[in-house]
Structure 1
Amino acid sequence: MKTIFSKFTLLASTLALCLLAVTSCREYLEVQPKSQISLDDAFSNLPNATNAVLGVYDELMGDNGYGIRINMYYPYDSDEIIVSGNLDNGRRGIGRYQLLLTNTEIRNPFLQLYRGVEKANLCIEQLPKMALYTNGTDAEKKELRRLHGEALTLRAQFYFELMRNWGDVPAPMQPSYTQANLFIPQSNRDDTYAKLIDDLKTATDLVPWRSEVAVRNERITKGAVKALRAKMALFRGGYALRSSGQMERNADYLTYYKIARDECADLMAKRGEHTLNPSYEDIWRKVTSFQYDPAGEIIFEAGAGGANSTSDSRMGNYNGPVVNASSRYGTGGGGLVVLPNYFYAFDSTDVRRDVTVTLYSVAATNIKAPRRLGELTDGKFRKDWRVPLLPGTALNPGYNWPFIRFADVLLMFAEAENELTGPTPAAIAAFEEVRKRAFPKGSAAVGTTPATKAAFFDALVNERYLEFGSEGIRKFDLIRWNLLAQKIAETRQKLIQLRDATGPYANVPRYLFWKNNGEEIQWGNSFYKPTALTTAPTGFTRLDWRQHLTTNIIDGLQLDAAIARFFVAGKSELFPFDQATVDAYQGKIKQNPGY
């Protein structure tokens, strides 16, 4: 929950006409600025400069940021999760890859990301010009350099999101008031990545470690900069859809894998700053209860708060288990559906399964009822875990959005090390540290780590699949590996096999039998063994399980709700630029392939 950010409008009224380089001037003539603070005043002293940078943070959150759209619409459909419901020109159009140029769910987050860029550009320009930056007290200089590093990192985050969704985008690195023409051409994303990766190297030396400050998760610290730099380097070194309509990787990709490996290695050597939480479930219990994690596994998260559409989040209300409004938890859930094959991707003893996947809904009486196999929901941000409770129909539970965890650092290190050298002992140890947490100590289900480069990579692809479900990571991983089309096709085939109880799903039961034990569900048979029973034993109720897939909408590939129905390789890896943006640029912006 956001504890440090108050809404603060950075720009003076004289700058309100040019907040974004992607919006018509007429739109900004109609905007009433929330503050009349001049640019000079905004950077006249440390408190004002701090407020200016907090204003940059504000553009992370809200309905058009990482409060719902960017983190819960944009990463789906994938081979883990799909959006629920039938096709529309909104979130389901995004999920099904029918990306129309009039879809406002594409336009509005695009604009907010550029609003963040503009605010960051102003801070990056103005902070070093402040007299206190060079002539203040040691404490003032230290804090202003921290603010400068935060602004550099936030700008990198905004551009990272723009590039992984739209590819080559206009990339102004100065405030709009300094630009003669706001509608500048697109920049080659490779050049933009290189510039931002260099910026993050600078920022690393400006911001403190987590242990050196009081607010440790909602403001950027050295660990967050290093982790973001590693992630952006892997994307710069990965595959991307180019204007040719082909997925390509640059010849210099190993240079960026080395950057990623080195940054992760630096973080792994500072276990007093960030390490794994021993309990996978506890990570998410703390997120939903607004508790500080001493392990610091979540390295950086966007702060949410204010119970409104501009500064809060809707995790738990939009997604998670379906919760009745009359229950003690308030209404919510059901916006994201976990694919049946994803549930069965987990070993039965993997503790991540029942954290990542929710098998129940909550009735008005607070009693849980089971969901059928095609109706499972995600579980990391579930509303019925919220402490304190938030009864009623509140849209905004106040959950922060975690950008990166230490588990990601370990697996990025293993991936980069493998690409550079093969599965070295260090790479294997990092991989196994994540995997072993998922199983009871000494479990044979951990298995043997592959010893060849190709097999180790395949194991990493699968481990990231299991570790990061519903965290907005999977689709973009698959794109940078050039595996998205393949995994969507494999998922469709797996759903058919699961429906028909063939291949690896031969033992999935047609029915499950259940009853309530208090408010909880007690299962009467195994998820992993067939049963000849078709009638519920005394005291139990029958639930369609595999049987549900014979008529479930995700089974029919021609139906509007089918997974990634309109996905086209060489097109769908990127979003289109919305029509209003194309019109505003008057031919200066090239539409992405296939649109």
Structure 2
Amino acid sequence: MKYKIIILGIIMAGFFTSCQDIGEDFLDAPAKSTLEESIIFSTPGLTEGVVDGIKERMGQTNSYRGRYIPFYGFNTDTEWNYNSDKVGDAVGDLCVYDAKPTNTYMDRDNNAWAMMFSGIERANICIKGIRAYGNPEPGNEMGQLLGEAIALRSIYYADLVKAWGDVPARFTPITSDSIFIPKSSRDVIYKHVISDLEEAATLVAWPNEIEATTSVERINKAFVKGLRAKLALAASGYQQYPDGVRRSNDPELSVDKMYKIALDECREIINNGSAQLEPTFEGLWRKLNTENVNAGGESLWEIPFGEGRGRVLFSFAIRHRTADQYTGQPRGGIAGPLPTVFYDYDESDIRRDITCVPYQWGTAVDGISQQELVGSDTWYFGKYRYEWMNRYVTSSNDDGVNKIYMRYAEVLLMAAETANELEGAAAAAPYLKQIRSRAFSSNDQAVKVNDYVNALSSKEDMFNAIVNEHKYEFTGEMERKQALIRWNLLGENLAEAKTKMSDFKNRTGEYSDVATTLYYKYKEDGETLDVYGLNRGELGNPGAEYSAFGWNSLEDNMINSLYKVGVDPDNRQFWPIWQVFIDGSNGKLVNDYGY
């Protein structure tokens, strides 16, 4: 059973006072608890309820659920949102690097910004209380709960800094003297959080080491170490500061120091063996969609949504046009891979057809729908599928499927990247081979895995291969944008993506052997497609049993909507702080970057 934190009533949510929480309450919570802090934070069962309350903020309508997960991360060289070509559209502006502080979709006092800081305040109260009354130690229940609270606060800060850059640093509960504070340098926040996660790793257990860590909806040591590695890379990477795109000037956040932390953490996870790649790439995503939350596999931690909360499939699944045999919720498909991504993969890469899907589920007849081809400008993420669920979704706007926050494959790629930087290509090779081994059949291993990786003899070649492998592995997971930023490749790769899409539209250059007409028939089940023409060189009619489908619908306005014409994405790496929070900051908050 899923540990449905975000939908279930949390009895301790009322402990948090209204002055500490910004925005509407998700729960019908009672007034402030009459229980004393000394009782709450010395009783593990009660403390666990308070820790659950930290996560509850993620399920608020305009928090992770309906704003951050659906829209942070677009657009990149692999993914785009299908509102991007709507000129002046509030959602589109978020994705085309033209967001305004007054964006009507985001400029609300219960937005993700508010919910993240509300979650941080809950975490601060919890951390203070456990330290004061809980006697937390490595190996005891209160130590596990303290480690979880610290990690959850770190998650909120990781996402705040990722989306907004410099933000206020609050690591103690709010007092009358600290209600209004200015932004802090993200360097200060990175250092604090990296230190926090080092402590948290000493407190929480490995996956399946104790009952609490048998589910990926609870914090475990592998995740904490992986998050610390990821934040070390982000802290030392390129990013936009008010004075330009650069690495941090803080010597404590140097590449050598941060990459050493990241590599050490990744190797500890790998050597421990309590997390591992799922045996097949399809199996990984079936596990998510069937809501299997057992720890010890590839997923390290997931944002836990209950059945009536969360919009992961609602936003990103293969599109279902009507209620049908697989879902009572006709949604999915607000975003997808760029049309060229399918052709970036090796044709024998198993990940390609899982990640890039060229069809939707059409209008149901008597409750049954069929797959239908869509235009060459529209692809869907096949990692998210109502048809793989065990549960029939009936909610009008929530599906309840969790969001994978980090998985073991990312640990392997971070290990490859940091080993390459610090020790050379040969040290990175084993980690990259593990990723690629799952992506190819046994018949392809010698050439596509061993020969391919062994040929990467220089640091530069290995780095470029890792950048590409990140695309093959993570398209559709909204991990790409931050990676491109820290590699200083955001603007460059987005410009290249526009050029590639223009060549694809015109079937010139590397796309001259891609068909403009597809041919399809239905398989014996009567609902799934057999398509000819998607692979390079499939240019002829395969036979009378196939029907033709014109497939050349990508237009210049859509290509140009990857990012707004005249805007440099490197000058818009972050969202602005929304106006409602600027106005309510007593003059303490301001926007940078020309907003």
Q: What TM-score, normalized to structure 1? A: 0.90
Corresponding residue for residue 68 of structure 2:
70
Give the 3-state SS of the residue equivalent to 2:74 in structure 1: coil
Work out the CA distance in 1 between the residues paired with 2:587 and 2:310: 36
After superposition, the C-alpha distances for 1:219-251 in whole angstroms (9 at most, x for unaligned) are 001111101111011101111111113333445
Equivalent in 27, 31, 37 of residue 33 of structure 2: 37
After superposition, the C-alpha distances for 1:501-521 in whole angstroms (9 at most, x for unaligned) are 222212111111111122111
Give the 3-state SS of the residue equivalent to 1:337 in structure 2: strand
Equivalent in 251, 265, 268 of residue 266 of structure 1: 268
Q: AA paired with 1:91? A: V
Corresponding residue for residue 536 of structure 2:
528
Corresponding residue for residue 342 of structure 2:
343
Corresponding residue for residue 49 of structure 1:
47
Corresponding residue for residue 288 of structure 1:
289
Equivalent in 362, 366, 370 of residue 367 of structure 1: 370
Structure 1 residues 293 and 278: CA distance shift in structure 2, 3 A: farther
Instruction: Tell me, yes or no, if structure 1 residue 168 matches structure 2 residue 166.
Output: yes
1:373 deviates by 1.5
Give the 3-state SS of the residue equivalent to 1:361 in structure 2: strand
Give the 3-state SS of the residue equivalent to 1:522 in structure 2: strand
Structure 1 residues 385 and 394: CA distance shift in structure 2, 3 A: farther
Corresponding residue for residue 497 of structure 1:
503
Corresponding residue for residue 146 of structure 1:
144
Structure 1 residues 46 and 521: CA distance shift in structure 2, 3 A: same
Work out the CA distance in 1 between the residues paired with 2:499 and 2:410: 29
1:63 deviates by 3.6
Corresponding residue for residue 101 of structure 1:
101
Work out the CA distance in 2 between the residues paired with 1:466 and 1:571: 27
Corresponding residue for residue 448 of structure 1:
452
Give the 3-state SS of the residue equivalent to 2:520 in structure 1: strand
Give the 3-state SS of the residue equivalent to 1:313 in structure 2: coil
Work out the CA distance in 2 between the residues paired with 1:270 and 1:14: 38
Give the 3-state SS of the residue equivalent to 1:150 in structure 2: helix
After superposition, the C-alpha distances for 1:173-202 in whole angstroms (9 at most, x for unaligned) are 1111x3513111211111111111111111
Work out the CA distance in 2 between the residues paired with 1:562 and 1:253: 31
Q: AA paired with 1:366? A: S
Instruction: Tell me, yes or no, if structure 1 residue 554 matches structure 2 residue 558.
Output: yes
Work out the CA distance in 2 between the residues paired with 1:482 and 1:161: 19
8 Å CA contact 1:378–1:470 kept in 2: the answer is yes
1:70 deviates by 1.6
Q: AA paired with 2:574? A: L
CA RMSD of aligned residues (A): 2.4
Structure 1 residues 461 and 424: CA distance shift in structure 2, 3 A: same
8 Å CA contact 2:75–2:95 kept in 1: the answer is yes
Work out the CA distance in 1 between the residues paired with 2:92 and 2:129: 41
8 Å CA contact 2:532–2:538 kept in 1: the answer is no
Within-5 A mapping of 1:367-406: 367-390=370-393, 392=394, 394-406=396-408
Corresponding residue for residue 584 of structure 2:
584
After superposition, the C-alpha distances for 1:27-85 in whole angstroms (9 at most, x for unaligned) are 99xx9854431452543522211100011122233443433422220110111111113
Give the 3-state SS of the residue equivalent to 2:588 in structure 1: coil
Equivalent in 405, 423, 433 of residue 425 of structure 2: 423
Give the 3-state SS of the residue equivalent to 1:374 in structure 2: coil
Equivalent in 179, 184, 193 of residue 182 of structure 1: 179
Q: AA paired with 1:3? A: Y
Give the 3-state SS of the residue equivalent to 2:203 in structure 1: coil
1:552 deviates by 6.8
1:314 deviates by 1.1
1:95 deviates by 0.8
After superposition, the C-alpha distances for 1:319-346 in whole angstroms (9 at most, x for unaligned) are 2211132311231112003211111111
Q: AA paired with 1:548? A: S
Greater mean alpha carbon deviation, residues 205-214 or residues 566-575: 566-575
Equivalent in 508, 514, 523 of residue 514 of structure 2: 508
Equivalent in 177, 201, 204 of residue 201 of structure 2: 204
Corresponding residue for residue 540 of structure 1:
546
Corresponding residue for residue 568 of structure 2:
568
Give the 3-state SS of the residue equivalent to 1:539 in structure 2: coil
Work out the CA distance in 1 between the residues paired with 2:177 and 2:12: 21
Any unmatched runs of 5+ in structure 2?
none
1:89 deviates by 4.5
Greater mean alpha carbon deviation, residues 100-109 or residues 401-410: 100-109
After superposition, the C-alpha distances for 1:138-184 in whole angstroms (9 at most, x for unaligned) are 99x811111100000000100010011111100111111x3513111
Corresponding residue for residue 326 of structure 1:
323
Corresponding residue for residue 236 of structure 1:
235
Give the 3-state SS of the residue equivalent to 2:477 in structure 1: coil
Work out the CA distance in 1 between the residues paired with 2:197 and 2:16: 31
Give the 3-state SS of the residue equivalent to 1:231 in structure 2: helix
Structure 1 residues 87 and 315: CA distance shift in structure 2, 3 A: farther
Q: AA paired with 2:434? A: E
8 Å CA contact 1:10–1:35 kept in 2: the answer is no
Greater mean alpha carbon deviation, residues 55-64 or residues 467-476: 55-64
Structure 1 residues 105 and 223: CA distance shift in structure 2, 3 A: farther
Structure 1 residues 11 and 405: CA distance shift in structure 2, 3 A: closer
8 Å CA contact 2:4–2:306 kept in 1: the answer is no
Q: What TM-score, normalized to structure 2? A: 0.90
8 Å CA contact 1:247–1:570 kept in 2: the answer is no
Any unmatched runs of 5+ in structure 1?
none
After superposition, the C-alpha distances for 1:373-430 in whole angstroms (9 at most, x for unaligned) are 211111211222211233x4532221111111111000001101111122133x1000
Q: AA paired with 2:530? A: Q
Give the 3-state SS of the residue equivalent to 1:582 in structure 2: helix
8 Å CA contact 2:236–2:247 kept in 1: the answer is no
Equivalent in 57, 60, 79 of residue 58 of structure 2: 60
1:2 deviates by 4.3
Structure 1 residues 255 and 511: CA distance shift in structure 2, 3 A: same
Work out the CA distance in 2 between the residues paired with 1:354 and 1:293: 26
8 Å CA contact 1:574–1:592 kept in 2: the answer is no
8 Å CA contact 1:514–1:523 kept in 2: the answer is yes
Equivalent in 467, 477, 480 of residue 474 of structure 1: 480
8 Å CA contact 1:101–1:578 kept in 2: the answer is yes
8 Å CA contact 1:98–1:566 kept in 2: the answer is no
Q: AA paired with 2:448? A: A
Equivalent in 151, 154, 157 of residue 156 of structure 1: 154
Structure 1 residues 344 and 210: CA distance shift in structure 2, 3 A: same
Work out the CA distance in 2 between the residues paired with 1:460 and 1:305: 35
1:268 deviates by 0.6
Corresponding residue for residue 227 of structure 1:
226
